[in-house]
Amino acid sequence: MKSREYLERIREIPALSRAVLKKIVLDGERATFHLVTDQTYHEEDVAAARDVTQDFVPEGCTGDVRVVKSVPSEEGVRARIAEVLKNNYPAAAAFVSPADISVELDGAGGRFVIGVAESERTQFVRGNVLDGVAEDLARSFPGAWAGDCRSVEKVMEAPPEEPLPPPEVIIAPRVFSIENYAPIDGASPKFAVYMADLAAGQTDVTVCGTISFLEERMTKKEKPFFSFTVSDGTAQLRLSYFSKKATLEKVRALKVGDSVCFTGDMELFNGSPSFRAKAVDLGTLPKDFVPEALPSRPAPPRYTAVFPEPCEDLVQGMLFGETRLPAGFEKGRYVVFDLETTGLNNNPVAGPMDRIIEVGAVKIEGGKIAEKFSTFVACPVKLTDEIVGITGIEDEMLIGAPPVETVMADFYKFTEGCALVGHNVQFDYKFIRYYGEQEGYLFDAKTLDTVALSQQLLRLKNYKLNTVADHFGFTFRHHRAFDDAFVTAKIFLELVKLGGIPK
């Protein structure tokens, strides 16, 4: 249902020309639309509204109307403005007290003025705070609303003492003992570091694993060197080794499937992690080796750059079918997310990782969409014309955006205790897992894929996001993170209605 088109039809009724739609309540086969107006109306006006409403509900569903007359008061509007600022614009709300808000009613809406310090005026104007407040008032009260700022001199007060941040959690690399050691270069290592825990800058570190690829090559000076790919079950690692004359033939005798240990330095080469081995020996992982779980940093105590906002889908998808959400679903917590990136490489072993440039997510609690998380992400490399064409995101839009390490901390806090949902979820999940791990945040939540759920429950020509959205009658702006996440959340709710709570 298109609420804008519905209200345009309703407002053609003279007595409801300034009506607003507060909510829609579904009870079985009856959908009741609750309207608020500040005008006097009669029963024939309600009957006319009921006829309009019937045109906007599915066949077989009865449309009903409840109309309430409510004349806004200055105090009520002022309280609503303060609430909107607090919930939707916490950074701006920090500079405003209720006494700074003035309201003038004109019988057909009104005007509000927010007093702010001159230094904060730009944040209100350029940050679209005034427009956002006016749009909320238009949804909450009849009539048209407009806002402005006035400069006031603010008396500086000593800020409240902030609690000390928790001590930095330093997570030591995990190690295991090397078994069946036999020398080639004779480095004699006793322990190996998990490959998954390697970080640029580590020196004289030993890794141990099984060879999956090796190749002998020659330098420009015709000296042999070797390229290896090895794995220890926690990660794969590409490395280079420059052989020594005394051990060259022993190294040449190595083959795919052999278990070896390398000692060397972890470096960055062309932006990608690279291990330069200084010594190679034989050695194996412990028998029946099971990697121990890497502890994650705790979620930060507060958001620092990206502040979640309330988010509500007024219809919540319920008019697209009579099936209700299964019992017990409201007890679950889900974050449905989507990313926009500079490319498709989400595996550091395959080369330099592409970068995240936008994160969009919605949280589902109590069986409905409740919160949004949306931000651009600073990007130190220029966006390609292809990415600009696909996403509509340009370099200028990323100026001033928070860096990925800050976004990952806030996103980890936002997703705490939630299952992660996405359309082809593993593609985006690998990005957040990689960039989260760089900051010590281990995204290890359960993941649910709406592609797989759609394939199980629907018969469609393909299962692209726009195809599944079209099936349910959802329209959206594709290839923008929040829009994709929001429509994926609506799709997820519909799939849960069809197939039950996913395991």
Q: Are 501 and 326 in contact (CB under 8 A)?
A: yes
Q: How far is the C-alpha of 160 from the C-alpha of 67, rounded, in Å? A: 46
Tell me the HSE value of 470 on the side-chain side, using a 13 A CA sphere: 10
Q: How far is the C-alpha of 3 from the C-alpha of 84, rounded, in Å? A: 21
Q: Which residue type, as a one-letter code, is found at position 243?
A: S
Q: Which residues contact 308 (CB under 8 A, 6 or more apart)?
A: 363, 371, 372, 373, 414
Tokens of 116: 């702010």
- What DSSP line would sit under 241-302, residue for residue? EE--GGGHHHHHT--TT-EEEEEEEEEEETTEEEEEEEEEEEEEPPTT--PPPPPPPPPPSS
* Phi-psi category of residue 440: left, alpha or beta, with phi > 0 → left and psi -120 to 50 → alpha: left
Residues in the chain, how many?
503
Q: Confirm whether 423 is a catalytic residue.
A: no
Tokens of 412: 């980890």
Q: How far is the C-alpha of 16 from the C-alpha of 143, rounded, in Å? A: 11
Catalytic residue, candidates 34, 471, 478, 479: 479
Q: Which positions are annotated as active-site residues?
A: 479
